[in-house]
Structure 1
Amino acid sequence: MILVIGGTGTTGRLVAAKLAAAGRQARVASRRASAEGVRFDWYDRGTHDTALDGATGLYLIAPLGDADPASTMLPFLDLARRAGVRRAVLLSSSAIDAGTPGLGEVQAQLGEMITDLLGRPVRHRAVDEDALTAYHEAHGLAPDYARFLAGLDTAVAAGSEDRVTTTVADVTGRPARTFRDFCRDRLAGAPCAADA
């Protein structure tokens, strides 16, 4: 059985659905237990054993809002290993090198692409790292995590993501699609400016 942490979230629910469609047993774990899953909270170790019971694989997202999640995640991963988990997949970013943070120009390009596909304006408004940190803090993020996220934008703007890899094909067995193709598929039927 595969434990999907964050299983009701954006990526976790998709992973759980794909596993179910492939005939694989998945346990959805989230901060609020649902009919299909169990309660799991990174900061409540009392939820870990129940979530891990019978799991042989994990899909993980880091604790939200934690700039340095290792102190929370590593003890859990050790517990998971002792409980019989043999494989773990972590949702992460290639913008995050060991010990360093890293998003900005990419967002502007994505805004232009979505504008083109929808036929109505979607704009990216660039802000500097200090302003973005302040924005995140004003919306409830801890100062160190706010600075970390803003630093990711700065790193991407400086070119940290300027590369092509074979990861998608290696993992899925299918070639990667462009973001434009992804949006075209996902935004099919979305109201365009001409429809308004």
Structure 2
Amino acid sequence: MDASPEFTLVIGATGTTGSRVTAQLAAAGRRVKAASRRAAPVDGATPVDGTTPVRFDWDDPTSFDGALEGADRVYLIPPLGSPDPAAVMLPFLRQARAAGVHRAVLLSSSAIPAGGPAVGQVHQALPGLFSQWAVLRPSWFMQNFTGDHAHAMTIRADGTIRTAAGEGRVGFVDADDIAAVAVHALTEPQAPNTDLVITGPQALGYDDISATLTQVTGRTITHHRLTYEQMRDRLAADMPAEFAAMLAGMDRTIAEGAEDRTTDTVQRLTGRPPRSFQAFAERELGLLRS
């Protein structure tokens, strides 16, 4: 790894992957600007270890200058829930390049190719903006079954996981492994300059997930299969109809086999295998029981 004195700007530093990227960079002795709307310190990272909280808000361009000052690379989390993230991200990225950032690592999704909807437009533009870049395209997070995600909430409420994915299989991946790949892409002497599909070691159906959670937690967890329309309408009760239709459509593509794959990205770039869902569930047992 190189030893640049500049900062790595981590946008979304209090989020699922951003907090882990920040912690891993700090543990490796990197100087980090941990950007969030609150500019609050990240757990485990203090000014002593080179981490500086900084305010950043995609909806407030006046926050961009301060966040970019002294940064030569950036980890990008798109604005959550935005139907058109490119509208705000591309002006920021052009400003970042002018400010001296030469490397950008973007969090996207395995379900969204370059040029696809939403963040796919940013993915497509990134190589034309930076000489060093990477786009992370992780599969569905294992963390979807813990914390505040809808699946976690229904597991706690009534022991169910509701999807329109049918028998489709997904290469669920631990956010810790995504962060490890991000840190590699941010810190190696040469950036990957490609997109990286990131999965766990197995493609699992939601029936498999339910069985593992049942075994680990001692509670009966079941997978309730919904139609696309049922899933869309259920989601639309809590979010805009267009976004609900997109999410339900992702379940439909899972049912059609689009996510039934695994990759060697974690092993190849970090030198260790990705964590299995069984190991993840056992590690998170306290959360799963809560």
TM-score range, shorter chain: 0.7 to 0.9
Q: How many Å separate the matches in 2 of 1:78 and 1:47?
A: 15
Asked if 2 retains the 8 angstrom alpha-carbon contact of 1:3 and 1:55, the reply is yes
Deviations 1:18-71 (A, max 9, x none): 111111111111122214512211121111111111111211111111133122
Task: State yes or no: 1:152 paired with 2:286.
Answer: no
Query: Shift in Å at residue 189 of structure 1?
Result: 9.4
Task: State yes or no: 1:85 paired with 2:183.
Answer: no
Q: For 1:58, what is the secondary structure of its paired residue? A: strand
For residue 131 of structure 1, the aligned residue among 230, 235, 250 is: 230
How many pairs were matched up?
Answer: 191
Q: How many Å separate the matches in 1 of 2:93 and 2:17?
A: 20
Q: How many Å separate the matches in 1 of 2:11 and 2:255?
A: 30
Q: How many Å separate the matches in 2 of 1:71 and 1:190?
A: 38
Query: Which TM-score applies when normalising by structure 1?
Result: 0.84
Query: Shift in Å at residue 170 of structure 1?
Result: 2.7
Unaligned runs of 5+ in 1: none
Deviations 1:87-107 (A, max 9, x none): 222222212224269973444
Match of 2:8? 2
Q: Do the aligned partners of residues 160 and 189 (structure 1) sit closer, same or farther apart at CA in structure 2, a change above 3 Å counting?
A: closer
Q: How many Å separate the matches in 1 of 2:288 and 2:240?
A: 35
Q: Do the aligned partners of residues 127 and 66 (structure 1) sit closer, same or farther apart at CA in structure 2, a change above 3 Å counting?
A: farther
Match of 1:58? 74
Match of 2:92? 76
Q: Do the aligned partners of residues 82 and 11 (structure 1) sit closer, same or farther apart at CA in structure 2, a change above 3 Å counting?
A: same
Q: For 1:89, what is the secondary structure of its paired residue? A: strand
Match of 1:122? 221
Deviations 1:133-185 (A, max 9, x none): 3333322x333222222222211221111112111123322222322122223
Q: Do the aligned partners of residues 126 and 30 (structure 1) sit closer, same or farther apart at CA in structure 2, a change above 3 Å counting?
A: farther
Matched ranges for 1:153-192 at <5 A = 153-187=251-285
Match of 2:64? 48
Q: For 2:104, what is the secondary structure of its paired residue? A: strand
One-letter amino acid matched to 1:24: R
Percent of paired sites with the same residue: 47
- The root-mean-square deviation of aligned C-alpha atoms, in Å, is 2.6
Query: Which TM-score applies when normalising by structure 2?
Result: 0.59
One-letter amino acid matched to 1:167: T
For residue 25 of structure 1, the aligned residue among 31, 38, 41 is: 31
- Identify the range of structure 1 (101-110 vs 57-66) with the bigger mean alpha-carbon deviation: 101-110
Q: How many Å separate the matches in 1 of 2:84 and 2:95?
A: 19
Asked if 2 retains the 8 angstrom alpha-carbon contact of 1:7 and 1:29, the reply is yes
Q: Do the aligned partners of residues 127 and 189 (structure 1) sit closer, same or farther apart at CA in structure 2, a change above 3 Å counting?
A: closer
